[in-house]
Amino acid sequence: MSVTQDILKPRFSQHIDIHCPDDRAYWAGHFGVSGDELRDAVKMVGSRVTTVAAHLGRQAA
């Protein structure tokens, strides 16, 4: 079982709520980055999952 399956699914499927600890943990685990790296990516490119995924060079879902 992967780390992302152990954490509750995010509230929104298309946007990352960087202020919600559960969402931040889910997406950081999904993308294989730290919470700080995820926060920096969202600051740079916005909260849309596909945009953050592209910025990080990862698959969106």
- Please report the pLDDT score of residue 7 as a whole number: 55
Phi, psi of 15 (to 5 degrees): -135, 150
For tokens 């992302």, name the residue.
4
Q: For the chain of 61 residues, list the mean pLDDT of each consecutive stretch of 10.
A: 57 88 93 95 96 90 66
- Please report the pLDDT score of residue 4 as a whole number: 46
Largest CA distance in the chain: 31
pTM exceeds 0.85, yes or no: no
* Helices 21-31 and 49-56, packing angle to 10 deg: 40
Nearest to 23 by CA among 40, 4, 37, 45: 4
- Please report the pLDDT score of residue 35 as a whole number: 94
- Please report the pLDDT score of residue 1 as a whole number: 43
47 exposed, middle or buried (CB, 10 Å; 0-12, 13-18, 19+)?
A: middle
